[in-house]
Structure 1
Amino acid sequence: MFSKLNPTKQSFSKGSKHGRSNSSFNKETGVSKRRHEPRRRAHSVASPSTASEASLGSGISPIITLVVGHEHRLFAAHDDVLTRAPYFSELLRYNIDQSPKRIALPDESPEIFSSVLEYLYKSDYYPCLVHNKKRNSWELEPTGDAPGAGTEAIMYYHDSEGPLLKDTVVYCAAEKYGLEELKRLALRKQGLQSGVQCSTILSSARYAYANTPDTDSKLRAHYLALIIRSRSTFKRSGTMQLEMYNGGTQLFFDLFVALCNHVDDVGAASTSPRSNRHG
């Protein structure tokens, strides 16, 4: 599912500022989950003064270890890369715990955090955007020839929500970590998806509403517009019918308002003076 650049498969070494080694930070290489139990207090890292001294002394940004998810998956990132995210910058600035520098993210998905970390290093995440010179357009990179590879690359399987669009979950993670550019990138990638099932659109829309503040309307507006554009399909969808029966959420009120506005816009266009002149 992941490309060879997937940070869950490779850790970031100290050999070069942004280089990677062949060793993996996971239980297969001898790092057991037991080592991290009992679970330490979340967001435990070294003091910023210690990190700064280590960086000045070696000329290499110090390594931060991140323990992610309930299975305690290990990730490693350079301090100067990780602190590009305001969330981690604040965390490292004010925490005064001793070495080793370690941050616990017990409620984060390792798969999604892998994409966030890949973005911090590469300014993109798998599948990446590539420019099609023939069409002069931006597209998602090919995701492999294996059956279902493309679907796996754009889907995220949440235990309680069912299948979600991975870009939606990445967007919500970017919101949490304060990465505005990553939010824009994830939103742009969602606009390139096609053939997504109604049930996945609805579960992803619910997730978006549950994990973004009311002041952040871009992702929500994306789903409202997507449902309206696909209204002929949704009218025949048993999933949509069930969702409406079980309604009462902000999503469906916003959808109602958006549909009303759409009808008003169509009506206004049809009765405009220009329309009458050409009628």
Structure 2
Amino acid sequence: MFSRRFEPAPPSTKSFSKTQKLGRSNSSFSKEAGISKRRHESTRRRPSTATNTGGTGPQAEISAIVTLVIGQEQRIFAAHENVLLTSPFFQSVLHNQMLDSQTKKISLPDEEPEIFSSILEYLYKGDYYPRLVHNKKRNSWELEQPSDNSRTEATIYHHPVDGDLLKDTVIYCAAEKYGLEELKRVALRKQGLQSGIQASTILASARYAYANTPDTDSKLRAHYLALIIRSRSTFKRSGTMQLEMFNGGSQLFFDLFVALCNHVDDISSAA
């Protein structure tokens, strides 16, 4: 799969800590993954996470309401049909025989309610909490800070995995499923701003990313390879890493091997 030459980040002796950003040197956070500043600066306040989602504007007012039954707990959400139609996935569902045309109800039992709430928030607002804020002085992107200085959790408990995953990784994979390319770029950039994540959570999230993205994905997968190489001093002492590699069964570790070989070749060439 990993046919392209992987360009890892410059070598570092620092272990993975709260001061080390996940995506600092990942090439996928460059202009290629550019995100409109206007889009994210226009909405800064976190909306309430409600099961009934309302839109704005005349089109939302006249659009039919679709009921969505989400997750194992069958949480009920509601969204305007024309808003959902911006997703190729929902275009297909809304126009085929899988949907009850009278009740307009869609069931997504494998989706996590918290993740789907963020998807709807993005469809209506153009971003999801915590939102991206552009720091004009530093000319860099930052995550919105809560007004009460509370800590925003970067992880989410994922029932099918039965463990914690990085929320932005799960949202990226959901965006892949729903055909929302801009949301993928937003989630990837946000993930690069997270810090202080446990090695076990990183590995579980990397495994989830490989299982829920196509082999052609060269952004989220490359992000994890760069992160593991950059934090190799931590991962080479990790019992979780050892167990993961022993169990195998994932393209992740072959890609990691190729990336490490390229990294060594680059160091040799430079020397």
Matched, 1:107 2:103: no
Distance 2:84 2:203 in 1: 33
Which runs of structure 2 are paired with 1:17-32 in the superposition (5 Å)?
A: 17=57
Equivalent position of 2:4 in the other structure: none
Q: Which residue of 2 aligns with 1:158?
A: 158
- SS of corresponding position for 1:94: coil
Match of 1:12 in 2: 53
Task: Give the aligned residue type for 2:105.
Answer: R
Gap regions ≥5 residues in structure 2:
1-44
Deviation of 1:17 (Å): 3.5
Shift in alpha-carbon separation, 1:4–1:188, aligned structure 2, 3 A: closer
C-alpha displacement of 1:98: 3.1
Distance in 2 separating the partners of 1:169 and 1:192? 16
Q: Which amino acid aligns with 1:60?
A: I
* Structural mapping, 1:192-271, within 5 Å: 192-270=193-271
Alignment of 1:115-194 (within 5 A): 115-143=118-146, 145=148, 149-150=151-152, 152=153, 154-159=154-159, 160-194=161-195
Question: Relative to 1, partners in 2 of residues 1:79 and 1:230: Cα closer, same or farther, differing over 3 Å?
Answer: same
Query: Quick one: distance in 2 between partners of 1:64 and 1:107?
Result: 18
C-alpha RMSD of matched pairs (Å) = 2.2
CA displacement 1:222-279 (0-9 Å, x = unmatched): 1001100111111222221222222242111111111001111121222xxxxxxxxx
Q: Distance in 2 between matches of 1:59 and 1:146?
A: 36
Q: 1:201 to 1:190 in 2, by over 3 A?
A: same
SS in 1 for 2:62: coil
SS at 1:164 equivalent:
strand
1:89 aligns with 2:130: no
Deviation at 1:10, TM superposition (A): 5.2
In the superposition, the TM-score normalised over structure 1's length comes to 0.74
Q: Is the helix fraction higher in 1 or 2?
A: 1
Q: Residue 171 of structure 1: CA displacement?
A: 0.5
Q: Once the two structures are aligned, what percentage of the paired residues are identical?
A: 69
Q: C-alpha separation between the residues in 2 aligned to 1:222 and 1:109?
A: 23
Contact 1:85–1:179 under 8 Å retained in 2? yes
Name the structure 2 match of 1:38: none
Q: Is contact 1:161–1:203 with CA below 8 Å preserved after alignment? A: no
Which runs of structure 1 show a deviation greater than 4 angstroms over 4 or more consecutive aligned residues? 144-147
Distance (whole Å) between structure 2 residues aligned to residue 200 and residue 144 of structure 1 = 27
Change (3 A) 1:267 1:200: same
Aligned-pair CA distance for 1:13: 4.0
Q: Deviations over 1:89-142 (max 9, x none)?
A: 121122363312111111111111111111101111111001223322210011
Counterparts of 1:214 and 1:168 in 2: how far apart (Å)?
Answer: 16
In structure 2, the partner of 1:35 is none
C-alpha separation in 2, matches of 1:258 and 1:4: 39
